C-alpha cells in the first residue's frame, strides 16, 4: 500500500522508528481518558517529519495494534512501516537510525527490533500527563539506576524547583489517577481515626501480579503486607492500607480478603484496632503517616512530591538515591532501621526528593509540552546511547518520501488537527459494502 524511495544522501537526516501503543483505559480502568503516550508521540512523529526526518511505525507486536488507533495513524499520515513488507527495493529497507518503543515491546519481546539500533523505551509516567522515557528500561533496568543520585544534583536550582512543585500542588492532586475527596477541612484522611494521625505506617498496594513485582522484587505484595502487619503488631504501631485504585475486581477481592485475614489474626492477639483500610487521597495519607512502605510502586513519586519518608523493598529508578530508604532483603529490618534511625526525615533527604522530582519533570515527555520540548527530551535520552543523534531541522528534504496513497485509502481531515477516530469515519464507502477491518 505504500512505497518509499531514497531521495538523496542526507547526512543529517535520520530515520526514527516509533512503536505506538494506545489504550484509553490505561490510566483509569472504568472510563476512557486520553492516553498521554499516544498523544505525545503522534505529535512528535508529525514534527519529526516536518523537520525532514523519516518516520517509520512499528507494525509488529502488541504495541502496534492495540485498539487499532496507531494503525489508523500510520495510514493517515503516510509514515513508513517497519518491518517493511518486502515490496520496496533494498535501499528503501534501510535500518532505522534510532527507535522509541513501548517498554513491554522490549521487556516481553513483543516484536523483533532492529539490531544495534539506539532504542529508548517509554511508558505512562508517574504524574498526570507524563510519559517516562529511559535508554535502558524501566525500574531495575533503568539506564540511570546507579547514577541518578549524582545526576539530579547537577545544575540544580532549589528556588525554581520549589516554585515548580508548589505550582503543581496548588493545581490539585498531581496523581495521574483520580483520588477522590476523602479528606477533612484540614487535609487529613477522613476515614483514618484522628488518634493515629502521624503515628501509622502506610502501605499503598500494587497489582500483585504486575511485571514490576514479578521481575524486580524478592518478595510478593502479600509477604510485604504480612511482615508489615507483624512489625506493627509487635511495636503497637497502626497500619493503614490503601488498595491500588486501578486493580480489577478479582484482584481487589483477593487483596481485601487477605487484609481481612490479617485483621482476624490481630484479633487473636488483641490487636484488632491496628489495621485500617482507607480510600482517602494518597498525598493526605502520606503527609499524615509516620512512614510509607512499598515494593517499588509509582506512588514513590507521591512521596517525593510530599517530601515524606518512604521505605522501598524492590528495585526502582529511585532505589539507590538518598530520596528513599531501600532494603531488598528484609522488610522487618528495613522498618526497624527506618523507625529507629531515619525519623524524623532529614532536610538532606527532603532536598534530594525535590531534586529527583524536578529532574524527572525535565526528562519526561508530557502532553502539556510542545512537540519541540518533547523532541528535546527524546534527543537527550537517545544521546546517552549515541552522542551524534540530532533530531533538529534537516537542511534538505526528508530522507524518505512516501508515494501518494490511492484516493480510497486517504483519511484526511483538511486543515484541522489530527483526529484519527473522526478521520476513520470519513473513509469513503461504496454502497452497502462492509468496511474492511485491518
Confidence of residue 154 (pLDDT cuts 50, 70, 90): very high
Q: What is the mean pLDDT of residues 364-386?
A: 96
Closest CA to 127 of 301, 347, 331, 379: 301
Per-residue model confidence as pLDDT tens digits over 266-325: 544 434 458 999 999 999 999 999 999 999 999 999 999 999 999 999 999 999 999 999
- Kindly report the average pLDDT of the chain as a whole number: 81
Task: For residue 109, count CB atoms less than 10 angstroms from its CB and return exposed for 0-12, middle for 13-18, buried for 19 or more.
Answer: exposed
Contact yes or no for 111/58 (Cβ under 8 A): yes
Confidence of residue 152 (pLDDT cuts 50, 70, 90): very high
Per-residue model confidence as pLDDT tens digits over 186-216: 678 999 999 999 999 999 999 998 889 999 9
Q: Where are the alpha helices (DSSP H) in 317-391?
A: 331-337, 347-362, 371-382
Write out the E strands in 113-263: 119-124, 130-134, 201-204, 239-242
Of 78-82, 263-267, 341-345, minimum mean pLDDT range: 263-267
Cα→Cα distances 140→13, 106, 110, 144, 223, Å: 34, 14, 20, 9, 20
Strand 325-326 relative to strand 54-58, pairing: unpaired
What predicted TM-score, i.e. pTM, was given to this entire model? 0.83
Q: Calculate what percentage of the chain has a pLDDT beyond 70.
A: 74
Is the model's pLDDT at 248 over the cut of 80?
yes
Q: What is the dihedral of CA 429, 430, 431, 437, to 10 degrees?
A: -60
Confidence of residue 170 (pLDDT cuts 50, 70, 90): confident
**Residue 415: predicted pLDDT:** 36
281 CB-near residues (< 8 Å, 6+ apart): 173, 175, 179, 180, 181, 182, 183, 189
Is the model's pLDDT at 137 over the cut of 80?
yes
**Residue 73: predicted pLDDT:** 58
**Residue 33: predicted pLDDT:** 72
Amino acid at each position: 500500500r505504500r512505497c518509499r524511495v531514497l531521495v538523496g544522501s542526507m547526512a543529517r537526516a535520520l530515520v526514527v522508528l516509533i512503536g505506538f501503543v494506545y489504550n484509553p483505559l490505561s490510566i483509569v480502568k472504568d472510563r476512557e481518558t486520553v492516553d498521554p503516550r499516544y498523544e505525545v508521540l503522534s505529535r512528535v512523529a508529525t514534527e519529526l517529519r516536518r523537520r525532514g526526518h523519516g518516520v517509520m511505525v512499528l507494525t509488529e507486536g502488541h504495541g502496534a495494534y492495540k485498539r487499532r488507533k496507531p494503525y489508523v495513524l500510520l495510514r493517515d499520515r503516510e509514515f513508513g512501516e517497519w518491518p517493511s513488507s518486502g515490496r520496496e527495493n533494498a535501499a528503501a529497507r534501510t535500518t532505522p537510525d534510532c527507535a522509541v518503543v513501548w517498554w513491554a515491546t522490549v521487556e516481553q519481546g513483543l516484536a523483533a527490533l532492529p539490531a544495534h539500533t539506539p532504542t529508548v523505551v517509554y511508558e505512562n509516567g508517574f504524574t498526570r500527563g507524563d510519559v517516562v522515557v529511559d535508554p535502558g528500561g524501566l525500574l531495575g533496568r533503568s539506564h540511570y539506576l546507579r547514577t541518578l543520585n549524582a545526576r539530579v544534583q547537577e545544575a540544580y536550582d532549589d528556588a525554581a524547583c520549589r516554585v515548580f512543585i508548589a505550582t503543581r500542588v496548588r493545581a490539585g492532586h498531581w496523581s495521574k489517577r483520580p483520588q477522590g475527596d476523602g479528606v477533612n477541612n484540614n487535609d487529613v484522611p477522613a476515614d483514618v481515626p484522628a488518634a493515629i494521625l502521624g503515628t501509622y505506617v502506610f502501605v499503598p498496594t500494587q497489582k500483585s501480579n504486575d511485571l514490576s513485582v514479578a521481575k524486580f522484587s524478592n518478595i510478593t505484595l502479600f509477604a510485604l503486607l504480612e511482615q508489615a502487619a507483624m512489625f506493627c503488631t509487635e511495636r503497637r504501631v497502626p497500619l493503614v492500607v490503601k488498595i491500588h485504585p486501578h486493580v480489577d475486581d478479582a484482584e481487589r477481592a483477593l487483596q481485601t480478603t487477605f487484609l481481612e485475614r490479617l485483621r482476624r489474626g490481630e484479633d487473636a492477639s488483641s490487636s484488632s484496632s491496628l489495621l485500617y483500610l482507607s480510600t482517602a487521597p494518597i498525598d493526605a495519607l502520606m503527609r499524615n503517616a509516620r512512614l510509607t512502605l512499598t515494593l517499588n510502586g509509582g506512588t514513590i513519586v507521591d512521596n517525593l512530591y510530599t517530601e515524606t519518608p518512604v521505605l522501598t523493598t524492590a528495585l526502582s529508578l529511585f532505589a539507590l538515591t538518598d530520596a528513599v530508604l531501600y532494603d531488598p532483603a528484609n522488610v522487618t529490618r528495613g522498618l526497624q532501621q527506618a523507625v529507629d534511625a531515619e525519623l524524623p526525615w532529614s532536610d538532606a533527604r527532603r532536598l534530594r526528593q525535590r531534586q529527583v522530582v524536578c529532574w524527572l519533570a525535565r526528562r519526561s515527555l508530557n502532553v502539556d509540552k510542545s512537540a519541540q520540548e518533547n523532541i528535546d527530551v527524546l534527543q537527550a535520552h537517545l544521546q546517552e546511547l549515541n552522542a551524534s543523534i540530532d533530531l533538529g531541522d534537516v537542511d534538505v528534504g526528508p530522507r524518505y518520501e512516501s508515494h501518494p496513497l490511492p484516493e480510497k485509502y486517504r483519511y484526511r481531515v483538511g486543515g484541522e488537527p489530527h483526529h484519527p477516530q473522526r478521520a476513520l469515519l470519513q473513509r469513503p464507502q461504496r454502497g452497502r459494502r462492509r468496511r474492511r477491518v485491518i
